[in-house]
A and B are shown apart, each in its own frame.
Chain A
């Protein structure tokens, strides 16, 4: 079993929809949680960074971490076609430079 599980999708939604992306993990030592966005043929780009449990909001994006359930989420409000990409969750125990990634969820937002 992988340390981080993420539904690979693909997920297809209409423009303007609220998107919910999720990851579960098994390593209770994880305390830094990130969401990356990766466009085709590009490197991952950091979207959200959260330390320990709680919520964090940045524009249309909200990240939630529930350490008791070992579950993290990313919500995208008012989704746009430009949000179409692969979304990767990532987490680490002690070093943000040694990340464990989920397999990524491929999202398509239809105009």
Chain B
């Protein structure tokens, strides 16, 4: 089974721009979660999508948004980029079944650098 794929792997943007990151979950998985990883704050939960609906949301500003398509692929968008948005953005997929028993499988991440 192919793992979670994320594209692009690396991105360089300038302040004020916007960016869209893509995540393809493991085949059959319906839940996609997004995390931000920085040296200072570690891994922080952004949001989770299940069946094209946002099910959970972390404590991030509205500049961070996402969506999920009918094939479970998900995109994350960050508008008006700030220097502090430089991070590794990780996507994780799960089957989306009974809460608490799912295993999250992470992709390799997209490393975003904001100049």
Contact = CB atoms under 8 A, between A and B. Distances in A.
15 contacts: A44-B90, A51-B100, A94-B100, A96-B99, A96-B100, A96-B102, A96-B104, A97-B31, A97-B56, A97-B102, A98-B33, A100-B45, A101-B35, A101-B43, A101-B44
Interface of B: 4, 31, 33, 35, 42-45, 48, 55-56, 58, 90, 92, 94, 96, 99-109
Contacts of A97: 31, 33, 48, 55-56, 92, 94, 96, 99, 102, 104
A29 to B, nearest CB: 12
- Which of A95, A96, A97, A98 has the largest number of chain B CB atoms within 10 A? A97
Contact of B45 (A42, A99, A104): A99
Contact of A92 (B31, B100, B105): B100
Contacts of A10: none
Nearest to B90: A43
A101 B94 contact: no
Q: SS class of chain B's interface: helix, strand, loop or mixed?
A: strand
Given A44-B90, A97-B56, A31 B100 contact: yes
B45 to A, nearest CB: 5
Contact of B42 (A41, A94, A104): A104
A98 B55 CA distance: 10
Interface in A60-103: 88, 90, 92, 94-103
B90 A95 contact: no
Query: When A and B form their complex, which 7 residue pairs have the shortest distance between CB atoms, in order from nearest?
Result: A43-B106, A101-B43, A103-B42, A98-B56, A96-B102, A44-B106, A95-B99
